Amino acid sequence: MELSLLFQTLITGLAIGGIYSLMAVGYSLVFSILNFSNFAYGGVIMLASFAGYYAMTLLGANVFVALIISMAAMAVVSLATERVAYSPLRKRNAPPMFFMISAMGLSIFIENLVYATIGAHFYAYPIIFEETTINIFGAALGKMDLFAIVFSIIAIAIMNYFINKTRTGIAIRAASYDSTVATLNGVNLSVVIGLVFVIAGAFAGISGMFLGIKYMAYPNMGWITNKAYIAAVIGGLGSLPGAIYGGVILGIVEAFVSVYITSTYRDVFSFAILIIILLIRPAGLFGKYLEEKV
């Protein structure tokens, strides 16, 4: 077995795994504080791929400006989804299931709105870096992939610092442990939740644009955004390190399955891994044993 192919597969897996991680982090962040599956997140990621595409083609922005535009736009969209679809439920203390169904409705709404207005075409991004690759121990790494990996790591590091070291971050963590007690201690829950959605939206902005560059922008990207949810479950729902590792593991496993076993059944293997991990560790790899709040 050639070592270079092994290494190449690992790098390909890391490149896509990094994007999965970003998506899973945004999704898991919302989960950790509101305790529900934000299925509208896939739709926001899809919108991000279009935001990035239009920023680059219509406005002629370069990749950094486009990333910032996409992040800002998705932060607004994400906050809007919270205010429209979840805020009224939160005020009524509705069970998580209602949040989830509301999110589902929102996801259908966003996806089909794009279908109906922009259409079901594939939109390819303009070329950002020339098609050159960097050689690392005989394995080729595309410049765009390298950029995506580095940018993902920086984004996650900043988020990590923010969550763990700042006062607002502590408020977010406190609210995710127990929102009632956090409120009693003077945390403005509405602001904290809004902020979490803004951060999640920014992450959707980054990951959506990278996905668009890699796979083009089109309305039914759902099959790939679903991977974010699967990665989060593999890592353990509600755990941020879990989401990061879950994404990387899923990306690497998929790359190895496509190269060494079969590329047509790749998605079946991701699903099989999900089932196997749930059989061995029902709470996911890093999951807290979270029972449903009654």
Partner 1 sequence: MFSSYIWGVITVCMYTSIIVVGLAVFTGFTGLVSLGHAAFVAIGAYTCAILTKTFELPFFVGVIGAALTSGLASLIIGYPTLRAKLRSDYFTITTLGFGEAMRVILENLEITNGARGIGGLGNYSHPITVFVILVIVLWVTKNYIFSRYGRMSISVREDPIAAEMAGINVVQVRLRALLFSAICAGIGGAIYAHYIRFIQPSMFISTQSTLYTAIVVAGGMGSITGPCIAACIFTMIPEVLRVADQWRMVAYGAVLVAIMVLRPSGIFGYKEITIRGMRNLVRRLRKQKLIGPEGVEIDE
| Positions 16 through 45 that interact with partner 1 (CB under 8 A) | 31, 35-37, 39
| Positions 254 through 273 that interact with partner 1 (CB under 8 A) | 264-268, 270-272
Do the beta carbons of residue 18 and residue 29 sit within 8 Å? Answer: no
| Number of residues this chain uses to bind partner 1 (CB under 8 A) | 60
Distance CA 106, CA 44 (A): 10
Phi-psi category of residue 122: left, alpha or beta, with phi > 0 → left and psi -120 to 50 → alpha: beta
Among 142, 194, 222, 241, binds partner 1 (CB under 8 A): 222
| Positions 146 through 185 that interact with partner 1 (CB under 8 A) | none
Among 3, 5, 80, 97, binds partner 1 (CB under 8 A): 97
Distance CA 251, CA 202 (A): 21
Q: Does 230 bind partner 1 (CB under 8 A)?
A: yes
Nearer to partner 1, 84 or 191 (CB): 84
Beta carbon of residue 205, minimum distance to partner 1 (angstroms, whole number): 22
Look-up: residue for tokens 């999965």? 20
| Positions 48 through 67 that interact with partner 1 (CB under 8 A) | none
Do the beta carbons of residue 129 and residue 147 sit within 8 Å? Answer: yes
Look-up: residue for tokens 């755990």? 239
Phi-psi category of residue 99: left, alpha or beta, with phi > 0 → left and psi -120 to 50 → alpha: alpha
How many other C-beta atoms are found inside a 10 Å radius of the C-beta of residue 141?
18
Nearer to partner 1, 42 or 201 (CB): 42
> Residue 225's closest CA among 250, 196, 242?
250
Nearer to partner 1, 260 or 265 (CB): 265
What three-state secondary structure class fits 135? strand
| Positions 120 through 139 that interact with partner 1 (CB under 8 A) | none
Footprint on this chain of partner 1 (rule: CB under 8 A) = 31, 35-37, 39, 84-85, 88-89, 92-102, 104-113, 115-116, 222-223, 226, 229-230, 232-233, 237, 264-268, 270-272, 274-275, 278-279, 282-284, 289-292, 294
